Amino acid sequence: MPERGLLVSAPGKVILHGEHAVVHGKAALAVALGLRTFLRLRHGGGGRLCVCLPGVGVRREWDVAELRVLRDRIAADFDESKSPSVEQLDVLKEFAGIAADASAPDSLAVLAFLYMCLAISAKYGDVPSVDIAVWSELPTGAGLGSSAAYAVCLAAALLHACRAISCPLKDGEATARWTEEEMTLINSWAFQGERVIHGNPSGVDNAVGTWGGALRYQSGKITSLKRVPTLRILLTNTKVPRSTKVLVAGVKEKIVKFPAIMNPVLDSIDAISQECQSVLEAMPTNPSPEYYPVLEELFDINQHHLNVIGVGHPSLDRLCRVTASHGLHSKLTGAGGGGCGITLLPPDATPLAVEAAKRDLCACGFECWETDIGAPGVTLHSSSSLNAEVLHALAES
Amino acid sequence: MPERGLLVSAPGKVILHGEHAVVHGKAALAVALGLRTFLRLRHGGGGRLCVCLPGVGVRREWDVAELRVLRDRIAADFDESKSPSVEQLDVLKEFAGIAADASAPDSLAVLAFLYMCLAISAKYGDVPSVDIAVWSELPTGAGLGSSAAYAVCLAAALLHACRAISCPLKDGEATARWTEEEMTLINSWAFQGERVIHGNPSGVDNAVGTWGGALRYQSGKITSLKRVPTLRILLTNTKVPRSTKVLVAGVKEKIVKFPAIMNPVLDSIDAISQECQSVLEAMPTNPSPEYYPVLEELFDINQHHLNVIGVGHPSLDRLCRVTASHGLHSKLTGAGGGGCGITLLPPDATPLAVEAAKRDLCACGFECWETDIGAPGVTLHSSSSLNAEVLHALAES
């Protein structure tokens, strides 16, 4: 397999409960999404390093010898425990022809790629002569952890190319996962990639991308839930653009304006995350319908609370109303003010009801995916285990 | 005036904030409604006591001498500080031909009338030979304090007929109100009437009917707000029937099921009542539009909270949505689960927007009144100060 290349994937994430409250020290539950990012690594022979990101229109190629020189210029303090320095990133931007204040996904993806490649190779081996293609089922900028899934895939592939981690996929196996120790290393390097892209990320997204399942995040501490069932959901993007920064500031303002009214709401949201965690940890892997009413009730309550703290939006009200008309329960996920919502699909939701809900959501101009949460984290794949669409997208590069 | 008769009115009430939370020891704000109950007392000469309630189809007449005998049978412990006894009420029911388990408004209205008439006359004078007609702008059974407004009017009229209170209306005056001391007496006898009708009322409705304006109620303690502006509102009856008892039990059940999630919501509602009280007490009598956004925000937040504690209803969601489409903010008032909603009408709401909102609410099958809150309590009227509709309704008797 190392000779023939590598196929890796990592999941996106959604916040199940605790968005915004987490900014104020409360718990949040983040879960791995069934929509994934896929990476194909091929060993090249020509002393070139190629990266191709068909989703954002990127195709870049560098001379490995040139990258070695570049690496040695900035290698003084490559360390996965330290943030990439401004100086390092400035040198990389200049090298790659990226504007100093670039913020477009394609520029940040190339920058993270270069940083991770040079930093990992500085620590574990030589700059690899490989072709890397990455393609994602996740939309970018929708709060679904697409940058983290990208960074996790890159970290796994580059650590593997530098022989810092093994290749656990045995012949004849469809998928395989790394050891806990290897995943810890992948996660820490993925966090470096996230730092390049986001500056000061929480680390939740890359943790979900690496470990999968569900994580609890509170005051900087990330813990995996003991066990998590796989739950079917609809993920709906209202496509209403919003600024997370403005929404976070609005919540802060409301808390300052009405502390006695708003602080109890944050306490209630915290208790919802706790209750949801307990319910999820008590659910069997393939839960029967009777587990769902509590999850649905928690969705409904939190959706009201999110409206109270001012991050609702008429498009999200509409999403909830449309799904409610089919007996399904939804809440916004992430920043709110538009963006995405999730809808639980209990096992007894009829395919007809689900199809009707999807049709009605699309009729609102929303984009809608039927997928699941609680998905596995970073995974190695045999090419026969990937579907044709993914293989085709990766081959186009 | 005593010779020519008496015209009295008392307002209904709505809960502005704190419904349901009040059951759990939190504060509630009750405000007097612009919709009123009117009573006309005429001194008769034929030794008869007549009561006519055209709204509930009641017309009863008794011989005063017969009532004196009845009174003496049960007069042992008439006292406005003690609840009417089951024995007293059983005797009155038998006398009036009311079934032991009667609960229809007409039966309870006759029973309260008889009790109040005999009890007040036992304490202050003779059974009066009068004709009393009562008519109300308030729908019954909609949580708008119609029974309390009735009891307040009756208490004032009967106390006046027995010369226990004065007639403060001077010739040429349109309206007049009693002294604090007289209103305290009216309120305590109105509470007796409420006890006949409701068994174990909180006393808030009759207090609002007596004092008007706005009252805070918490853990059995009723206090008047220092001052209250008159605020224009739409009062909308969804006409969806509901059981207050079932709704109260449902809230209790949710608190028991999710104490850590629900108790903070009750705390937040308590803080909303407190904040609203502060805002109202700081408002001038004719408030300008800039005072309204906070009141509207508190409406929106509380409406979400009421949904969280499980007393919302699709009809109330619809009411809120319809008024929101005209830029107006609404919440349910009272028990919820249907019933009534109130909509704030800021001074800068255009007549066109208000008319459009009313038309759209009526198109939903709702009944809608444009009225105000913060109305005066029990009031004496000259007949020229009452509008033709009221005089006509009272004259029909």
Helices (H), chain A: 64-74, 86-96, 105-124, 146-161, 180-198, 204-211, 244-257, 259-282, 292-308, 314-324, 351-363, 388-395
Among A268, A274, A307, beta carbon nearest to B264: A268
Res. B79 pLDDT band, cuts 50 70 90? confident
DSSP-assigned letter for residue A160: H
Closest approach of A317 to chain B, Cα-based (Å): 10
- CA angle, residues B194, B195, B199, in degrees to nearest 5: 120
Query: Could you give the CA distance from residue B104 to residue B197 in angstroms, rounded to a whole number?
Result: 10
* Interface with B, mutate which of A251, A266, A269, A304 (most B CBs under 10 A): A304
Instruction: Report the pLDDT averaged over residues A24-45.
Output: 95
Query: What is the predicted pLDDT for the residue at A47?
Result: 92
Per residue in A106-117, pLDDT (tens digit) is 999 999 999 999
The CATH H-level (homologous superfamily) assignment of domain B228-370 is GHMP kinase, C-terminal domain (3.30.70.890)
Active-site residue identified among A131, A205, A270, A360: A205
Residue B348 annotated to the active site: no
Q: How far is CA A342 from the centre of its chain?
A: 15
Give me B46's structure tokens: 């034929």
When scoring A253, A296, A301, A317 by the number of chain B Cβ atoms within 10 A, the one with the most, hence best to mutate, is: A301
B262–A272 CB contact, under 8 Å: no
Q: What is the pLDDT of chain B when averaged over all its residues?
A: 94
Nearest-Cα distance to chain B for A268, in Å, is: 4
Of A347-351, B82-86, B148-152, where does the model show the most confidence? B148-152
Distance of residue B280 Cα from the nearest chain A Cα, in angstroms: 16
Helix axes A180-198, A146-161, angle to 10 degrees: 130
Q: Which residue has the tokens 């394609």?
A: A106
The average pLDDT across B320-329 equals 96
Q: Does A395 touch chain B if contact means CB atoms closer than 8 Å?
A: no
Is A205 annotated as catalytic? Answer: yes
pLDDT over 90 at A74, yes or no? no
Task: Dump pLDDT digits (tens) for B307-319.
Answer: 999 999 999 999 9
The whole-number pLDDT of residue A356 equals: 97
Domains A6-223+375-396 and A228-370 fall in the same CATH topology: no
Instruction: Give the chain A residue whose CA is nearest to the CA of B260.
Output: A271
Mean pLDDT of A155-166: 95
Is the CB of residue A317 less than 8 Å from the CB of residue A331?
no
**What percent of chain B stands above pLDDT 70?**
98
Q: Is the pLDDT at A1 greater than 60, yes or no? A: no
Per-residue pLDDT band for B78 (boundaries 50, 70, 90) equals: confident
Q: pLDDT band for position B77 (50/70/90)?
A: low
Q: What's the pLDDT at A67?
A: 95
- Per-residue pLDDT reduced to its tens digit, B372-390: 999 999 999 998 889 999 9
State how beta strands B48-53 and B130-136 pair. Answer: parallel
Of A265, A274, A298, the CB nearest to B268: A265
> CB distance from B267 to chain A under 8 Å?
yes
What's the whole-number average pLDDT of chain A? 94
What are the φ and ψ backbone dihedral angles of A243, each rounded to 5 degrees?
-105, 115
Cβ contact (<8 Å) for A267 and B264?
A: yes
Mean pLDDT of B83-105: 92
pLDDT of B4 above 90: no
Q: Which residue has the higher pLDDT, B325 or A289?
A: B325
Closest CA to B261 of A297, A332, A214, A308: A297
Are A264 and B268 a contacting pair at CB < 8 A?
Answer: yes
Single pTM value for the model: 0.93
Whether chain A has a CB inside 8 Å of the CB on B279: the answer is no
Whether the complex's predicted ipTM is more than 0.85 is answered with yes
* Beta-carbon count within 10 A of B149 CB: 34
The CATH classification of domain A6-223+375-396, taken from the options 3.30.930.10, 3.20.20.70, 3.40.30.10, 3.30.230.10: 3.30.230.10
User: Which residues of chain A neighbour B305 with C-beta distances below 8 Å?
Assistant: 304, 308
Closest CA to A188 of A124, A138, A136: A124
More confident: A269 or A286: A269
CB-closest option in B267, B275, B308 to A304: B308
| Mean pLDDT within A47-51 | 95
- 3-state DSSP: chain B helix, strand, coil percent, rounded to 5? 45, 20, 30
| A265/B272 Cβ within 8 A | no
**Stretch B265-278: mean pLDDT:** 98
